[in-house]
A and B are shown apart, each in its own frame.
Chain A
Amino acid sequence: MEENIKLNKKGLFNPSGDISINAKAIVNGTSTNINDLNNIKYKWVSNWYRQAISNFWIPEEVNMNQDIKDYRKSLTIAERRSYNKTLSFLIYLDSLQTLNLPNINEYISAQEVSFCINLQCFQEDIHSQSYAYILDTICSPDERNSIIYDFKNDSIMLKRYEFINGKYEEFIDNPNLISFIKVLVANYILEGLYFYTGFMFFYNLGRNSKMNGTAQIIRKVNKDENNHLSLFKNIILEFKKEHKEIFTLEVESILENMIKEACIQEIEWGFYIIGNEIRGLNIDMIKDYIKYLGNIRATSIGLKPIFEGHLKEPLSMSWVSNFSKDDYIKLDNYGNSSLYSKSSTLKDDL
């Protein structure tokens, strides 16, 4: 049994490795470890990579002037509390991502996939930078610290952080194929569930014409996270193809339970953060939305739906997807444009 679930760290140069494409694998591959990007096995990678590169953005391009005023003047007490706590939570999540992605990557033996994770890691850094930019513009230094380190005074928050962290540590302590799929799914939950309720909160402020700069930055983060989500979905599905034997009924139900547990915690968290005092949101809406997200996440990696019903986006929450789509928002013809070189992806064949 132990031998069946063995997971090897990827090594450095392996001169005796196999040079055929078939030797590539998500984990435990036997190739040379030379970056041969002319012969890639996972075809979705090239699209994904190009897309992720052309998404490059920096937070400073978003104007926060109105947010500075809104934060002091238009946010209600309840809204400011949730704003702070949600931001604090996102800061935690992205910090964790930048720490944990390299752990996963140590075992990814397909170079092209490994490249994607490196790029993702870089994007998580940008996300951390954007929260710093937000805090820097709207808060004083002491407020800033009290937001970032809120978990030191908030036991509910601390408990939550420790739980999420625990899932990642299980893998570090005992890396094998089973703990590997668990950590992949844990990451997938983090990106596809925990972040999303945070995003939703900011979009809701935006739809109430408050903190629109924040919402705009969040939209950019969201776009990246969508990409990350699809990256991990692909990794999970490829991994599943390559290690069918691991996916026993038992393991599948462990994974389903992970998602279920995450949803339940997320709903509790939502109640703690949002309650019934935020205009535009109430606990029923949050419940419906999270159950729906849980089902979507489960089914798109081949698991059974977690909650009965909840297969369609709840009507009361249809605004979320509208507000999250960057390309749904048409800015003034004569205004917006980013300067940095998007044309790096433009092929010069003149």
Chain B
Amino acid sequence: MNKKIIKRDGREEEFKDSKIVSAIEKSFISQNSILSDEESSKILNLIHEAIDLKEKITVEDIQDEVEKALMSLNFYDIAKAYILYRNSRTQIREYRDFLVKEFNKYDLRLLSKNIEKEYPTKEYSLLNLANKYKSFSLNSIDDEEKMNILIKSALELVSVEAPKWDLIAGRIELFRYHLNLKTRNKELNVTNFYSKIKYLIDNDYYGSYLLEKYNEEEINKIERMIIKSRDKLLSYSSFKVLKEECLIKDKNGNYFETPQEMFMAIAMHLAMNEKDKLFYVKRFYDVLSKFEFVFALPILKNARRKNAQLSNCFIDIMDDSIVSIFESISNLAKTYDLTGGMGIYLGKLRSTSYLNKNSEENVGILKWLKIINDVVLAINKKGGFNGGVTCYLDIWHIDMLDFLEIRKYLNLNKHYKYIIYPAICVPDYFWKLARDNINAMWSLMDPHEIYLKKNYHLEDFYGVEWENRYLDCVHDDRIIKKDVPIKEIIRLIVKNAFETGTPFCFNRDIANKENPNKHKGMIYSSNLSLEIMQNVSPKNFINEEVMKFNGEEVLIKKSEPSNYPTSVLGSICLMNFDYSNDSKLEDVISIGIRALDNCIDLTSCFNLNSLLTLKKYRSLGISVNGYQDVLANENIKFDSEEQLIFGNKLFEKINYFTLKASNALAIEKGSYPYFKGSDFDNGNYFINRDYLSEKRAKLKDSIKNKGLRNGYLLAFSSSRFTSILSSNSESILPLLSKFYFEEEANKMIPRVSKFITNENNLYYSDAFDISQDYIIKTAQMIYKHIDQGVSLNLYINNNYSMRQILDLYIKAYEAGIKSIHFLRLKEATYE
């Protein structure tokens, strides 16, 4: 019998018994009973008796008949369940219709159906969305405003119980974005990826190299590799950072690229000098668009553009001369104009006030700090991810006491914005005294005066050599000293850390002893967030000359290149692939490293000195994201021995695959120029880490014989950007709290892990509830497997005493931890 059934939207469809049976079955299952074939045919018979005479029937009619049939066969409970189910479906349909009807310009039918299908559970019901929307919505607003409200409504539903509203909000936002982009493509006569790339090159957004390296046919092939559905991985928050930081827009704020086109264009740039271009385009695109390996902000922002600056994390030394100071400031300005996020070492600067006895103000180094602050404020337009600057000073510098109270000095005017973060460079000897003899005296001295009297720079040494020279200076009466009890200095450090989270702490001896490239220099300080640790040296100026160039006079400033580090960064986002599958992990890492390594040859740099440094060391900063998510997924508590064992295995593998990949690249493309004599070359790197297995011995030999592509590799930054983009928890850190808001430009953006579930909820630790010993032990475990640092925060509450805080610093030193970033204070709330 060819019966037609009229669906709710008016379309007609063939009548099928199977559809009815499956609906009834669901009601049976919901009541924990099973529909037998016999029962099923009885019910069907009754229904057919009722409807067979009619030629066309509606869905509603059929459902009525199902109810009647169930009742007449005495399936009361089942009938009840069926009715309930039917009602809830109707309700949801009504709400969906309501939402769809709200909009004129936007057709939400397909989108809302898809969302329902992909998020079938109660907490993601569109009913919740519609209710929330209604409470915001007033009459007489246009479609755009309504859309804003709809997105805001979805965002407000984000909670620990329903974290995925963030993804739904992202879907709605992207839906609008794509629709608007389509209109725009038409206006610009953009019909495919090729014509879009051409348009963007013609209008100076993209670099012309893209069309020089890829022909139209290749680009058409590449276009077919784009997988649009990967947009589904973008939450509202991740799409927001892409829009604000990466996607290209014109002066009026109109965008050109879809997120997937952007990822693809980046992949094209990074793969353009590969022999097998298209193969690597696809590989790079895949790891990036699935957020398995996410490149740092400058790459996502600038790759594909003209003169792309792809590295970040610059570290500078301000040397003790006017020329050098202003050279540094000039570089600082350029850096903050383009990227930001610097660390500057100030330990070579003399203390002007101390030597000039007529001066009443004891400001010394603080004057330079104020200039640094003002320069960055003047240059840096929007703050963003890299708004701050970390300034380093040795703990024995004569201006240390003022430096520790820098906030008070700079914050005289409450409206004065303050973006400097003080960091202290601490030798082992200081921590030993603090531990064993806190009442001892500590001598603060002026580095310049030491140079005048002793003819060496004390800050150029580390370890025992430093200690001997320091004591020698202390006992040399010709050198002016300010003697302060260690206890007093600790008090200042702890008090300021408690109030402001700073000073950051850089354990210089540990960092230098474990520096794999100590044959080429030393590490004076770290970067903005204390994870990059590489050789730095001050620049030597030779002279300024007049030369003839095409008959014209030109001025040439000559200087000897120095070590001015910058790195290419990226993060392995553990939760976005099967991290327990070794070959997958190896694959992600090797593709990621290859892409980052290419950046070193592709990047342009406003600072030639640091470009040269980058090419000598080929430095990378590979980090991870999502460790806390992984632990929850494995049902492992952060503060447990089990975690340390689990982590040790994981990070050992990450280290192994990283070195292996860099070794393979060296075989293919050559070692980093400073490889000879490094700890990688002489094997100390492996010996220091007890990497003694057979597998390791093989790798060690291969590196010895064939080299290594990158002189610095692993540094665990706490990158908010890659963490938000990939929806993975930040770095290796526990969460500050399961749910919180970030306030951005007047908007409150909810943050909650999208991987949190009822089952693993318990395993998401709040950082403040964890015994800090475990944070330190975790860092200690990780330090074995990396060559630079971890951007590590400690978390305390206001029940901590000074002694307890000091003990954390001492424990960290004893555990071989190279740096401590923020000391975060939880303000306890009563009850």
Within 8 A of A (CB), among B773-831: 798, 800-803, 806, 822, 825-831
CB <8 Å contact, A47 and B830 = yes
Evaluate whether A330 and B741 lie within 8 angstroms (CB atoms) in the complex, with A282-B135, A337-B499 already known. yes
Query: Contacts A339-B408, A343-B495; is A230 near B830 (CB within 8 Å)?
Result: yes
Q: Does any Cβ of A come within 8 Å of B411's Cβ?
A: yes
Count, chain B residues at interface, CB 8 A:
56
Interface pair B801/A337, CB less than 8 Å apart: no
Cα-based distance from A34 to B284 in the complex (angstroms): 75
The answer for the CA separation of A230 and B828 in the assembled complex, in Å, is 14
User: How near does chain A come to B561, taking the closest CB pair, in angstroms?
Assistant: 31
Q: Which residues of B contact A347 (CB under 8 A)?
A: 801-802
Q: A280-B136, A346-B802 are in contact. Are A61 and B414 (CB under 8 A)?
A: yes
- Any A CB within 8 A of the CB of B34: no
C-alpha spacing A337/B823, complex, angstroms: 13
Q: Let me know if B748 and A329 touch, CB within 8 A.
A: yes
- The stretch from A49-57, A118-126, A255-263 touching chain B is A49-57
Stretch in contact with the other chain, from B96-104, B181-189, B569-577, B732-740: B732-740
Is there a chain B Cβ closer than 8 Å to A342's Cβ?
yes
Q: Which of B74-82, B486-494, B646-654, B674-682 contacts its partner?
A: B486-494
Q: A54-B827, A280-B136, A350-B491 are in contact. Are A212 and B746 (CB under 8 A)?
A: yes
Which of B159, B499, B500 neighbours the largest number of chain A CB atoms within 10 Å of its CB?
Answer: B499
Q: A323-B748, A346-B801 are known contacts. Are A316 and B387 too (CB-CB below 8 A)?
A: no
Answer yes or no: A174 CB below 8 A from chain B CBs: no
Most buried by B among A60, A277, A285, A349: A349
Which of B132, B742, B800 touches A316 (beta carbons < 8 Å)? B132
In the assembled complex, the CB of A56 is this many whole angstroms from the nearest CB of chain B, namely 11
**Interface readout for A273-299 with B: 1 if CB under 8 Å, 0 if not?**
000010111100100000000000000
Among B131, B739, B802, point to the contact of A348 (Cβ < 8 A).
B802
A227 at the interface (CB under 8 A from B): yes
For window 190-214 of chain A, which residues contact chain B by CB distance below 8 Å?
206-209, 212
Q: Is the CB of A343 within 8 A of B740?
A: no
Q: Contact: A333 with B829, CB < 8 Å?
A: no
Q: A51: which of B156, B159, B414, B830 is its contact (CB, 8 Å)?
A: B830
- In the complex, whether B138 has a CB less than 8 A from a CB of chain A is yes
- Which residues of chain B come closer than 8 Å to A322, judged between CB atoms? 739, 741, 750
Q: In the complex the two chains form, is A346's CB within 8 Å of B495's CB? A: yes
Q: Which of A55, A208, A343 contacts B499 (CB 8 A)?
A: A343
Provide the A63-75 mask, 1 if CB < 8 A to any CB of B, else 0.
0001000000000
Interface residues of A in 321-350 (CB under 8 A from B): 322-323, 325-335, 337-339, 341-343, 345-350
Q: Is the CB of B135 within 8 A of A280?
A: yes
CA distance A318 to B135 in the complex (A): 13
A204 to chain B, nearest CB (A): 10
Q: Does A223 contact B (CB under 8 A)?
A: yes
Q: Is the CB of A316 within 8 A of B131?
A: yes
For the complex formed, measure the closest distance between the CB of B328 and the CB atoms of chain A, giving whole angstroms.
20
Q: Are A328 and B737 in contact (CB under 8 A)?
A: yes
Q: Which residue of B lies closest to A58 (CB)?
A: B414
Determine if A272 is an interface residue (Cβ-Cβ < 8 Å): no
Please name all residues of chain A whose beta carbon is closer than 8 Å to the beta carbon of B742 when the two chains form the complex: 329-330
Question: Does A48 have its Cβ within 8 Å of any Cβ on chain B?
Answer: yes
Q: Is the CB of A327 within 8 A of B414?
A: no
Complex Cα–Cα for A74 and B720 (A): 31
Are B827 and A326 neighbours in the complex by a CB distance under 8 Å?
A: yes
For chain B residues 414-451, which have a beta carbon within 8 Å of chain A? 414, 419, 421, 438
Nearest-CB distance from A262 to chain B (Å)? 22
Given A327-B829, A341-B499, are A350 and B803 neighbors across the interface (CB < 8 Å)?
yes
* Residues in chain A near residue B626, CB distance under 8 A: none
Q: How far is the CB of B155 from chain A (nearest CB, A)?
A: 10
Q: How far is the CB of A199 from chain B (nearest CB, A)?
A: 15
- 575-604 of chain B: CB within 8 A of chain A: none
**Which one of A55, A207, A318, A343 has the greatest number of beta carbons of chain B within 10 Å?**
A343
Q: How far is the CA of A18 from the CA of B382 in the complex (A)?
A: 65
Find out whether the CB atom of B136 lies under 8 angstroms from the CB atom of A328. no
The yes or no answer to B668 lying at the interface (CB within 8 A) is no
Question: Is B383 an interface residue, CB under 8 A from the partner?
Answer: yes
The answer to whether the Cβ of A319 comes within 8 Å of any Cβ in the partner chain is yes
Indicate if the CB atoms of A329 and B741 lie closer than 8 Å: yes
Q: Mark B719-751, 1 if CB is under 8 A from A, else 0.
A: 010000000000000001101111100111011
Contact A337 B829 (CB under 8 A): no
Give Cα distance in the complex from A55 to B743, angstroms.
Answer: 21
18 A-B contacts (beta carbon < 8 Å): A207-B748, A208-B136, A209-B747, A226-B830, A322-B750, A326-B829, A327-B829, A328-B740, A328-B741, A330-B741, A331-B743, A333-B720, A335-B383, A335-B387, A337-B499, A339-B407, A346-B800, A349-B801
Which B residues lie at the A interface, using CB under 8 A? 128, 131-132, 135-138, 152, 156, 159, 383, 387-388, 407-408, 411, 414, 419, 421, 438, 487, 490-491, 494-495, 498-501, 720, 736-737, 739-743, 746-748, 750-751, 798, 800-803, 806, 822, 825-831
Beyond A206-B748, A280-B135, list 17 extra A-B contacts (CB 8 Å).
A47-B830, A322-B739, A323-B748, A326-B829, A327-B827, A328-B739, A329-B748, A330-B736, A332-B387, A333-B720, A334-B387, A347-B802, A348-B491, A350-B490, A350-B491, A350-B802, A350-B803
4 smallest beta-carbon distances between A and B, as pairs:
A334-B388, A347-B801, A209-B746, A349-B803
